[in-house]
Chain A
Amino acid sequence: MSKTLFDKVWDKHVVRKIEGGPDVLFIDRHLIHEVTSPVAFLGLKSRNIGVLYPNRTFATADHNTPTINQHLPVADPLSANQLQALETNSKQYGISHWGLGHQKNGIVHVVGPEYGITQPGATIVCGDSHTSTHGAFGAIAFGIGTSEVEMVLATQCIMQPKPKKMRINVNGKLGKGVTPKDVALFIISQLTTSGATGYFVEYAGDVFENMTMEGRMTVCNLSIEMGARGGMIAPDETTINYVKGREFSPKGEAWDKALAYYKTLKTDADAVFDKEYTFDGASIEPMITYGTNPGMGMGISHEIPDAAHVEGGAATYEKSLGYMGFHEGESMIGKKVDFVFVGSCTNGRIEDFRAFTSLVKGKHKADDVTVWLVPGSHIVESQIKEEGLLDILTEAGFVLRQPGCSACLAMNDDKVPAGKYAVSTSNRNFEGRQGPGARTMLASPLVAAAAAVTGKVTDPRTLIEELV
């Protein structure tokens, strides 16, 4: 029978099927961080059981960490306690631990691919919904809750009903200044935040085929924002070239074996999806959100749509726009911006900083904007320095911070104050996500750059002729 890419990877990992229940799914790689793992380890202790395969789990500290002065002890006692718990638990159970200050430390979904932990055709889970990022490699990757973290530690399996399958095709040539982030925000604006709930998505079409691995990660990262458990893209030459030779990638004979497996990972020509959408890449423009969920996005040159065009009833729409202080029919261009955040597992990789830098080069940071540039990992941080981007950024008045999730969820001190407006390259514009009362507009690193130098929402296409 013809199979989709998703079917192939899923079926290969089913240990057993439970009559009238979920499948028992084997997990190849498990990533943990300090926030969603402590209670899972407590569970192991109270059951008096160990970790079945410690070498399949990797720990990094990211959600709760400061992005300056990482060499100093963490000031917030609660955060320090969580970081300590991650370290102690990892040590006790023999799990690789890349804590604060460790050379391999960074955001869990950034370091996984960097070190070759992320592999095509693997099953990957983490107690963080943006685990969907790893789907860029043709892996089945999704976020889980803490009970499931405990399950994976104890048994390397979780129990999941098999989701339905959706394919989203985007073909055509992307316009000037249109990035993978815009493609993703566009798709979510079309499907709404619940449009893919119950589905696992495969992205197909030349727009994704032509993307770099980093661009694909940005797209897959945002799959969860339309309700999908995850999204994936069939591995190709681009994928294999990226994966080959990384620290935890298979080597020698194991590599040849893995390669043979990777090559089987594509949807058969006549495989059927439960749902399919097709969009024209040329019609997408740089996007920005105006509301309080990622589905409330629009082309930057458009006007804020009316309630009838937005998911949720009029009450939900009004609550959302009231929170943002925006009105139906307004243009977003020219709106005041107080904060700019470039980072997160959505847009905290080197290509994002290259894009940002290309636009701000030779310009200057607007005076009344606070800009947080937070690399996704130490590798990204060193690339920024080695490629000379830091010099350009410094010249333009910007400061580079240290790696972590930072203002993506504002668990550390990087909080946007109540009522202030932030253009953010992260993934969620929920009420209070970037700090109580903070007002978030999601956008690409280019739109963030345009805001950083003008202090306003600005169409990046109007600022430079040649965009990377």
Chain B
Amino acid sequence: MAYDKFTVLRSAAVPLPIENVDTDQIIPARFLKATERVGFGDNLFRDWRYNADNTPKADFVLNNPTYSGKILVGGKNFGSGSSREHAAWAIYDYGFRCVISSFFADIFKNNCLNIGVLPVQVSPEFAEKIFTAIHANPKTEIEVNLPEQTVTLVSTGEKESFDISPYKKENLMNGFDDIDYLLNIKSDIEEFASQLPL
């Protein structure tokens, strides 16, 4: 599915300093019944965001108008649990284009990269700095520069670089996906398959 190209993103950020945020929190299983990829943003963090009677929980960060932006900053081990790509869809659909954390769960990270959300892994110290800066000033801007692979706290100029495979970087910057690549080497795949033991 096509997504917007990613180059440089400058935005305020929403802080969620909780560790081990799992995909069941990002999008609870009961919202996985759709057969199309629409409307998942409404149910992002559903049970943390709404009471059982669907009234918003005032103390949850997404309900706090002080915070906004296209970047979500999460605690360590963000996205653990299930392989549901719906978690990444919900994040994208809500309006986030980038998640920053000091550590990501594998499948979640892959899913994000496949659908145009950039997962940026920073050091625990830098993650702390970001949380502190947002705490001090909720409008603090963060610049995520994919071509240069850097993340910068705009107010202080503090900066860290992050890793991404050159292949995935190219994909995100151009809005390509893996299937385009694989379809181009289909004859290689077919030849390979004919020689496999199973």
Contact = CB atoms under 8 A, between A and B. Distances in A.
Contact of A193 (B25, B77, B165): B77
A22 B165 contact: yes
A468 interface: no
B198 A311 contact: no
Contacts of B17: 315
A128 interface: yes
Nearest to A312: B19
Nearest to B110: A145
A26 B197 contact: no
A150 B88 CA distance: 16
B111 A145 contact: yes
Interface stretch (B58-66, B101-109, B139-147, B153-161): B101-109
A318 B28 CA distance: 22
A430 B79 CA distance: 12
Contact of B178 (A49, A147, A257, A319): A147
Interface in A303-330: 311-313, 315-316, 319
A370 B83 CA distance: 30
Contacts of B33: 35, 64, 76, 78-79, 81-82, 411
Most buried by A among B30, B76, B83, B197: B83
A78 B196 CA distance: 40
Contact of B107 (A39, A85, A229, A436): A229
B43 interface: no
Contacts of B192: 15, 26
Interface residues of B, number: 59
Contact of B197 (A18, A81, A158, A258): A258
A198 interface: yes
Contacts of B83: 36, 127-129, 131, 143-145
Nearest to B2: A46
Contacts of B115: 147
Most buried by A among B17, B19, B88, B103: B19
Contact of A411 (B29, B114, B186, B188): B29
Contact of B88 (A49, A52, A145): A145
Nearest to A78: B33
A134 to B, nearest CB: 13
B24 to A, nearest CB: 4
Interface string B72-88: 00011100111111101
A129 B81 contact: yes
A229 B106 CA distance: 7
B93 interface: no
B167 A144 contact: no
Contacts of A257: 197
Interface residues of A, number: 85
B19 A316 contact: yes
Nearest to B77: A194
B149 interface: no
B52 A431 contact: no
A436 B47 contact: yes
Most buried by A among B17, B19, B36, B82: B82
A197 B106 contact: yes
B36 A159 contact: no
Nearest to A262: B197
B186 A38 contact: no
A47 interface: yes
Given A78-B33, A129-B82, A315 B197 contact: no
A145 B30 contact: no
Interface string A52-68: 11000000000110000
Contacts of A121: 197-198
B25 to A, nearest CB: 6
B106 A315 contact: no
Given A16-B185, A194-B103, A315-B18, A151 B35 contact: no
Given A39-B36, A144-B107, 10 more contacts: A15-B185, A16-B185, A26-B192, A43-B179, A81-B33, A155-B179, A194-B20, A261-B197, A409-B29, A431-B24
Interface of B: 1, 17-20, 22, 24-25, 28-30, 32-37, 47, 52, 75-77, 80-86, 88, 103-107, 110-111, 114-115, 165-168, 177-179, 181-183, 185-186, 188-190, 192-193, 196-198
25 contacts: A12-B196, A15-B185, A19-B166, A22-B165, A24-B185, A24-B189, A26-B189, A26-B192, A26-B196, A35-B84, A38-B34, A38-B36, A63-B32, A78-B34, A127-B83, A129-B107, A131-B83, A142-B107, A146-B85, A159-B178, A227-B105, A250-B198, A409-B29, A410-B30, A411-B29
